[in-house]
Structure 1
Amino acid sequence: MSALPLEGIRVVDLAVVWAGPTVGRVLADLGADVIKVERLTAIDGTRFLYVADWDHEGDFWNRGLYLQKAQAGKRAITLDLSRESGKQLLARLIGRSDVVVENFTPHVMQSLGFDYESCKQLKPDIIFCSMSGYGGTGPYGDFRAIGMGLEPAAGVPHITGYPGGPPYKNGNTFADPLGGLLGAYGVLAALHHRRRTGEGQYIRMSLQEASIQIVGEALMEYQLTGRLPELRANRSASAAPQGVYRCRGADDWLYLSAGSDEEWEALCNATGHTEWARDERFADALARHRNHDALDGLIGEWCAGQDKTAAMDLLQRAGVMAAAVLNPREALLNEQLAAREFFTPVEIPGVEGPRPVWPYVPAKFSRFDAKPRGPAPAVGQHNREVFHDLLGVSDEELAQLEEEGVIGTEPVLPLPPDQFGETLAQPLEQYREQGAVLAIEGDYRDRVREATQRDAPGDAPGRS
């Protein structure tokens, strides 16, 4: 395999939680040296989410599995930017870097003295990617926002849900990863522009605008017809039948869609119900739309006796679009994903066995392999590599900075670590009783082991 395309590019990652860190995660998967910056008194909150094996003892904040999805393969340092010495170190690091990524509320970076104009003084060709809810300009520019609120701001819930019912929010906060991926594309475009012109630039990303991509069809419908789309749940404006149908099993479902007369006939033949094709109620696409309730009843009755995976395979081989609805365990063990080596087994210090981490560039390249190159870093894990090896800070200066709390590896928590861990370690059974989780499987480690049979990469390599 060839060298990764972004080797030699250094990124200062000041972003937190999911959207902003996704930019850095994409760049890291492509070979960039991404350095996550945290403050000991306010480490990234995702460090406390989904702690591996629900073990909240010791340095549990370094074992958060949520952390892996946005921080895998990066390096990590700590800096107190309320102190002049911390600001000086960040300035020196930016001066040796190519990209800065941040997702604070607008004006935070300016108040710290590290807005784009200030960073450009440190590195004239710096690329500065600023991500916020509304892009920092316009009447909403200064509004605070999180992913869950930006999906409604883009109009997405108005096209999801059931007929006659209220708007439905998506089950996940997709505005964050989608915005992060689009932000990474912006950085890649800026890097290409800089290679051609020598110019850096300021990228202002709006997560509202990123989320608008999802509702393009609805926007076009209104522009062209003046109609607001109706809520139609799992149905389609063009294909009929289309839906998600319960299969044999406690919570097993199958998606299928037949858009053309040929697909409809193939569906009838594959299910063994050729009489459906002769039914006048389903004679053509318009008739099938009008009688979708009747179709759902017939297809639902057939699906109720089927294994979802076998039904998917049967319909796909007949030329009908179908997919088994996978739960997280099934996705982890899915044969298609395994065949394409989608997950990378990553060794996480302090965690038994490797854990599967997915790529943020889900493509197979013929010349290089874009995937997570190691686990998410511990708090301040690479302080010495960055400050001493890269920036030339002496051992004496490092000791002084650590004594003053400017840098370090032990976060400042609101309670002693053991007590704070106890406050986070709500019994898992309570989550099940509250409906937050469907089931708790005692053999999950065996399942994870099944999904991580390949060699696992170690820690991200040091760089200078």
Structure 2
Amino acid sequence: MALCMVLRNLSFCSSSMHGIKQQQATSVSSMKAPYEGLRVLDLSDRHSGAFAARLFGDFGAEVILVESREGHSLRREPPFLDGKPGPDRSVMHAFNNWNKKSVVVDEPEEFADFVAGADVVITTSNPLRTLPSLSNDAIHICITAHGLASPLSGKPGNNLTISARTGWSFINRYRGEPPLQMPRNQTGYIGGVLGYICGAAALRRRKSGTSAEVVDVSELEAFMLTVHPWGVRSVYANAGESNGSSGIRPRGRAGPLWDAADGRMNFGIADFRNWSQAMEVLKLPEIGKISELVPDIGRHSKDLRFVTRAIAESLPSVSRWPTFHKLARLRCLTGVMQDIQDLVGNEQLLARDFIVETQVDGKTVRAPGAPGKLQPSPWKLHSQAPKIDEHHGQTAMKKGQVLYNKEEPSLSEKELSVGPLSGVRVLSFGQAWSGTFSTELLALLGADVVQLGSIKRPDVFRRLTGSVPDGVLDSDRLQHPLNTQGEYNSVNLNKREVTLDLGQEVGRELLWKLIPKFDILVDNFRPTVMPSWGFTMEKLQEIKSDVIWASVSGYGQSGPYWDYPANGATTEPMSGLSSLHGYEGDLGMNTAGLYPDPVSGYFLVASIMAALTHRDQTGEAQRIDLSMMEALAHVCGDAVIEFDVTGKIPRPGGNHHPRIAPHNCYDAADGQWLVIATETEAAWLSLIKHIGDSRLFADKFATMKSRKINEVSLDTILGEWCASQNADSAERELGRLGVSVARVRTLYELFEKPESNFVESGFFSFIDHPETGPTWLPGRPWRFSAAEGSPLRPSPCVGEHSKEVLMNELDLTEKDYQTLVAKGITGTVYES
């Protein structure tokens, strides 16, 4: 038996770091945490599983990390404190395993007791790990690279290969340069947050049965939902290719980041308000006088390349922060590329107590705090990542112990089969992507989501073009440009839409009558918009005492930047992620797909799941305030801790990995690219035997450490071999050998004719939209064993369900509805 260790009363060193909210392990909150009393068993050996378990711990669950004597795999991942490996010195361990207790379990009987006493078990093995003692009402979350129901199941995958398989690598590149993976550990964070979301949802319908519910989550499919609108758009347009939201640029061309005198900036010039004054700030007064550019409406259709070139010439003469504040106050979309050193000292984050403290082997370090703020249910960092077996003997869970308080579901089996959130009702004010994506996830989980639309000012994703795209144009169908845009139709599945003109008093009155019918309100406006319509938490509670109001905005509802305009392109550099993304040796670059929007959407749903649990237990209303800047900074958490443990500012790593070699993207013979990584010695031996090049058997490549030291020469040899290979054939052959490998996919090919692994798993469906006809769209990146998901419904047309919603919810008559249509208060584009 392992030696029992005494649970330490953790205390953190006092800090001279100004503005940091210190999270004391010994402090006691007067508020009940959402998952207080829930027992989660972390049996993972991947980043995604560890992060999912940690999120349960952040909201109050008791999380038991069951480890081998060597410890969780993250303990061996660099970087390390002072560059020296050790089980308690890893940055990845420190960030992903806090709020957990560690035990080493040697005896099968003891392990069975731990499993039997768990409400939730998290594993990351494929095939699914068999746990005979698991309670019938427990939830078994299994997060793997490719899911359990795909032809790729069981094959290794990581951030490099998943970036390649989803199209991210292809669109991230500079023209003429290799495709580029997403920075650092993004697939682990996304897979982890989705694993938590699905597990939390499954808990809502747990009940005694014949077996525990298995929740199957695919990192690949979860990550696909962070980039898919651009692929769908390309197929709708019959474009033949997709280069993401910003296009593939040659190195050196200005945008989406420009160089100022003291750093880099982003500008959304097509959306600038107060054009003339903004051009004065940028020292371009003559451009500010061009009358056709002054109105922001219609500027997207103008050729602005001369403006981007002019900004590139003038910006090096100005400083980034004064320019940022001046433009933001003019309601111009802009952002500053912050590196991690900038980030931890940022005035907005400090004002919102976002930066917290933890420890790495006794050293106090800074880390990102809550990805979303909840009131009154608390997110809390209450304990640092544990030492191996630190809590042995103090966490035993025997059969028969009282489990997490649960109520039998009041819904029928048919209702539950719709999804674990069946019966939950959501009114969405979401626009574009972050708000609509978050509510789409809720709808895919079974919630009844009603989207609030407008005929006068439709969602921006509906009006990106003024025509029906060529790829779906059909003279035999009634079609309208607002109903046939790929971006909108890709992120609003399973919803209904009602239109209301909130500029008219009757429209506002109808809205306030609708609100009490819903459990959750979601918006992603600037924080000034909802209050301008009379929304306050106090007023909402008067008509719906247990309402949950969740808001996404660029910088949150408080702090000095609270009312600054923002979007994905501006919050990405502000969050620090752009400083980590790019080719080795570069300063940093934006990703090519507005990554902050889906990341914020995932974390908003994660926060909503905690809020729902708290509301169900207490009856209290909940307010959620999520900052896109903070949500994205949270998935840079390991880089933030790295800065404090190494004293060095983290920079872009290209396609390489800090430990694994080989780990890179190589040109193949057919104009394609191939990514290859060997995460184990077995995979390495299989690779070199397959290639057969005697140089690869040299002593300098004998160990992972030596391969990393000699990575340049290793890449040269592998590059020579790949140049002679057909990428598809090499992927199949190396994949069978257990090598992490993938051909780099384009977004267009993925959505024009989806691969069998996406179709056979049920992730892609051929969905028939009334105006575009049937198209391939991604849906649920999860599988619940308790019930198959119901067929997906297409995204709604403008106001498609206005009559249905208003008549059913507010008892309006047909005459009442037609009167509202005649006044322009509601209706469809064909009725108005």
TM-score range, shorter chain: 0.7 to 0.9
Asked whether 1:123 is paired with 2:544, we answer yes
Relative to its length, the structure with more helix (as a share) is: 1
Tell me the equivalent position of 1:35: 450
Give the deviation of 1:356 after TM superposition.
1.6
Between 1:88-97 and 1:301-310, the stretch displaced more is 301-310
When normalised by structure 1's length, the TM-score is 0.83
Q: How does 1:64-463 map to 2 (within 5 A)?
A: 64-250=485-671, 252-273=672-693, 275-332=694-751, 333-352=754-773, 354-359=774-779, 361-370=780-789, 373-410=792-829
The whole-number CA distance in structure 1 between the counterparts of 2:624 and 2:598 is: 17
2:551 is paired with a residue whose SS is strand
Give the deviation of 1:155 after TM superposition.
0.7
Displaced runs of 4+ in structure 1, greater than 6 A?
Answer: none
Between 1:111-120 and 1:178-187, the stretch displaced more is 111-120
Q: Residue type of the partner of 1:89?
A: L
Give the deviation of 1:338 after TM superposition.
2.2
The whole-number CA distance in structure 2 between the counterparts of 1:214 and 1:88 is: 41
The whole-number CA distance in structure 2 between the counterparts of 1:372 and 1:111 is: 39
Q: Residue type of the partner of 1:12?
A: L
1:8 is paired with a residue whose SS is coil
The whole-number CA distance in structure 2 between the counterparts of 1:261 and 1:373 is: 43
Give the deviation of 1:400 after TM superposition.
2.1
Give the deviation of 1:280 after TM superposition.
4.0
Q: 1:10 to 1:278 in 2, by over 3 A?
A: closer
Q: 1:12 to 1:331 in 2, by over 3 A?
A: same
Give the deviation of 1:371 after TM superposition.
6.6
Give the deviation of 1:218 after TM superposition.
1.3
Query: Could you report, residue by residue, the CA deviation over 1:333-360 in whole angstroms, capped at 9, with x for unpaired residues?
Result: 21221221211221111224x212212x
The whole-number CA distance in structure 1 between the counterparts of 2:761 and 2:680 is: 31
Query: Could you report, residue by residue, the CA deviation over 1:243-296 in whole angstroms, capped at 9, with x for unpaired residues?
Result: 01111223x1111112444433322112122x1343244343343233322222
The whole-number CA distance in structure 1 between the counterparts of 2:790 and 2:710 is: 47
2:450 is paired with a residue whose SS is strand
Contact kept? 1:358, 1:371, Cα under 8 Å: no
Contact kept? 1:43, 1:411, Cα under 8 Å: no
Give the deviation of 1:115 after TM superposition.
3.1
Give the deviation of 1:56 after TM superposition.
9.6
Q: 1:54 to 1:331 in 2, by over 3 A?
A: closer
Contact kept? 2:552, 2:627, Cα under 8 Å: yes
Query: Could you report, residue by residue, the CA deviation over 1:47-81 in whole angstroms, capped at 9, with x for unpaired residues?
Result: 13475526398412112121122111111111111
2:491 is paired with a residue whose SS is helix
Q: 1:144 to 1:369 in 2, by over 3 A?
A: farther
The whole-number CA distance in structure 1 between the counterparts of 2:520 and 2:503 is: 22
Tell me the equivalent position of 1:432: none
Q: 1:96 to 1:260 in 2, by over 3 A?
A: closer
The whole-number CA distance in structure 2 between the counterparts of 1:3 and 1:412 is: 32
Tell me the equivalent position of 2:473: 55
Contact kept? 1:160, 1:169, Cα under 8 Å: yes
Query: Could you report, residue by residue, the CA deviation over 1:280-324 in whole angstroms, capped at 9, with x for unpaired residues?
Result: 443433432333222222111111121222212222222321122
Q: Residue type of the partner of 1:98?
A: D
Contact kept? 1:41, 1:411, Cα under 8 Å: no
Asked whether 1:11 is paired with 2:432, we answer no
Q: 1:96 to 1:230 in 2, by over 3 A?
A: closer
1:347 is paired with a residue whose SS is strand
1:364 is paired with a residue whose SS is strand
Contact kept? 2:759, 2:765, Cα under 8 Å: no
The whole-number CA distance in structure 2 between the counterparts of 1:218 and 1:372 is: 41
**% same residue:** 33
Q: 1:209 to 1:299 in 2, by over 3 A?
A: same
Contact kept? 2:659, 2:705, Cα under 8 Å: no
Q: Residue type of the partner of 2:520?
A: V
The whole-number CA distance in structure 1 between the counterparts of 2:511 and 2:731 is: 53
Q: 1:410 to 1:259 in 2, by over 3 A?
A: closer
Between 1:6-15 and 1:163-172, the stretch displaced more is 163-172
The whole-number CA distance in structure 2 between the counterparts of 1:117 and 1:412 is: 36
Contact kept? 1:73, 1:372, Cα under 8 Å: no
Q: 1:23 to 1:408 in 2, by over 3 A?
A: same
| Structure 1 unaligned residues grouped into runs of 5+ | 414-464
Q: Residue type of the partner of 1:369?
A: E
| Structure 2 unaligned residues grouped into runs of 5+ | 1-413
Give the deviation of 1:329 after TM superposition.
4.3
Query: Could you report, residue by residue, the CA deviation over 1:382-431 in whole angstroms, capped at 9, with x for unpaired residues?
Result: 11111112211233322222121111212899xxxxxxxxxxxxxxxxxx
Contact kept? 2:639, 2:650, Cα under 8 Å: yes
Query: Could you report, residue by residue, the CA deviation over 1:173-228 in whole angstroms, capped at 9, with x for unpaired residues?
Result: 11101111111121122112221111221111111111123322211211212122
Q: 1:344 to 1:282 in 2, by over 3 A?
A: same
The whole-number CA distance in structure 2 between the counterparts of 1:20 and 1:397 is: 31
Q: Residue type of the partner of 2:424?
A: I
Give the deviation of 1:370 after TM superposition.
4.1
The whole-number CA distance in structure 2 between the counterparts of 1:313 and 1:281 is: 28
Q: Residue type of the partner of 1:226?
A: G
1:265 is paired with a residue whose SS is helix
Tell me the equivalent position of 1:431: none
The whole-number CA distance in structure 2 between the counterparts of 1:217 and 1:20 is: 26
Contact kept? 2:587, 2:651, Cα under 8 Å: no
Give the deviation of 1:83 after TM superposition.
1.2
1:94 is paired with a residue whose SS is helix
